[in-house]
Amino acid sequence: MSGKDEKRNGSGRPNRASVEDMGPATWGVRAGLTRSPHGETSEALWLTSGYVYESAEEAAARFSGDSEGYVYSRYGNPTVSMFEQRLAALEGAEACMATGSGMAAMFSALASHLQAGDHVVASRFLFGSCHQVITKILPRFGITHTLVDASDPQAWQDAVRPQTRAFFLETPANPTLDVFDIPAIAAIARQAGALLVVDNVFATPVLQNPLRLGADVVIHSATKHMDGQGRTMGGAVLGSRKYVTETLMPFLRHTGPTLAPFNAWVLLKGLETLKLRVEAASRSALTIARHLEERLGRGQVRYPFLESFAGHELAREQMRAGGTLVTFTLPGGRDMAFAFLNALRLIDISNNLGDAKSLITHPASTTHSAVKEEDRRAQGITEGLVRLSVGLEDAADLIADIDRALEIAGA
């Protein structure tokens, strides 16, 4: 988090406008902008690990907190601060801290808050590594868990124990795109005294703001849509100033999953176009989902804004568009799914998502291969399921590629 709240531009002239009361497109371009004395147009890239002081007294004052300013880039860096402030504006958060990856954000959000003897209630529908953290890594530190069918508020309620200190879910979930009721789950968490942590990677702050819906903490993989061009890893944790400064910051400072300034700069520039990119890809994703539904049949395609999607009314309440991912099932299991992926010419086979290039993966053999088969089945991840991340190509070209590959695969 930033060590100072700079309100002046590089020439010493006060910034002409505070962006706080403006709209999200303006925040994406302007929020957090702190110019150096050179008055550069683009955000400055501060490639420095340390900082120097005018005197030994000043160094001591920075360390004691009596004087504001940066002390070490594991603790904070001006380029990283700009990214944090811009993302906080987009999510409607009081505070944000960036991390080196989405998994560093997810793990830190929970590990900074929990201790041995605590219990977590988590959605059964989780990205493979998040599932591993909850079911394999946290238990090694004496933190137990219960996985629930996240679509049933009663299941969350029933799972609460006196030791429950956190709820964790992702919505839409990876890869089934199931959508869960954040306000309803937040009410149960609040009553239980548990911190509700929401993974907002699939929706992005453009389409959904969990903090405004009652969540306490949001985590992001900035690797996905925020970069959006396949270049850097990154992550972020957002929440109240109290949670960030008192709980998260000491954990991050001393364990060090820091975001590199260069990566923060790439992500900062990514935030400038995030809204345009996510909205454009979401429009194409809906067109493709509708086309696939006609081609494969109702019930074979999962997309939150399709009328046939089980949670589509909730999705329309919680989200501003259906997102950039479309998940669908091919009738011939893994063989047909592999034949289809191999026949694509334009769409690339990749487990990444949220990119300008459309990417496709077979979750059972990639992103969710470390999850036990019975858990995968409980999540609805079948052998014929494929997940398409829609990019910025012309939707007609993507549909032509998909149709050709379906034909070759015999679907």
Ligand X SMILES: Cc1ncc(COP(=O)(O)O)c(C=O)c1O
Backbone torsion region of residue 208, taken as left when φ is above 0, otherwise alpha when ψ lies between -120 and 50, otherwise beta: beta
Q: How far apart (Å, rounded) are the C-alpha atoms in residues 136 and 149?
A: 19
For ligand X, the closer CB: 202 or 265: 202
Q: In the chain, what is the straight-line distance between the N-terminal and C-terminal CA atoms, in Å?
A: 51
Site track for ligand X across 121-160, x = CB under 6 A: ------x-xx------------------------------
For ligand X, the closer CB: 233 or 386: 233
For ligand X, the closer CB: 169 or 406: 169
Point out the residue whose Cβ comes nearest to ligand X. 102
In the complex, least distance from residue 50 CB atom to ligand X, rounded to whole angstroms: 26
Sign of the CA dihedral with 103 first, then 105, 108, and 109 last: negative
Could you please report the per-residue DSSP string of 222-270? TTTTTT-SS----EEEEE-HHIIIIIIHHHHHHH--PPPHHHHHHHHHH
Which of 84, 91, 199, 293 contacts ligand X by CB under 6 A?
Answer: 199
Helices and strands, counts by H and E, the chain = 15, 12
178-205 residues labelled b (16+ CB within 10 A) or e (exposed): bbbbbebbbbbbeebebbbbbbbbbbbb
Q: How far is CA 17 from CA 13, 33, 92, in A?
A: 11, 12, 19
Which of 43, 170, 216, 355 contacts ligand X by CB under 6 A?
Answer: 170
In the complex, least distance from residue 298 CB atom to ligand X, rounded to whole angstroms: 26
Site track for ligand X across 216-235, x = CB under 6 A: -----x-x---------x-x
Site track for ligand X across 65-104, x = CB under 6 A: ------------------------------------xxx-
In the complex, least distance from residue 191 CB atom to ligand X, rounded to whole angstroms: 26
For ligand X, the closer CB: 32 or 234: 234
In the complex, least distance from residue 397 CB atom to ligand X, rounded to whole angstroms: 25
Q: How far apart (Å, rounded) are the C-alpha atoms in residues 128 and 175?
A: 10
Question: Which residues make up the interface to ligand X (CB under 6 A)?
Answer: 101-103, 106, 127, 129-130, 170, 174, 199, 201-202, 221, 223, 233, 235
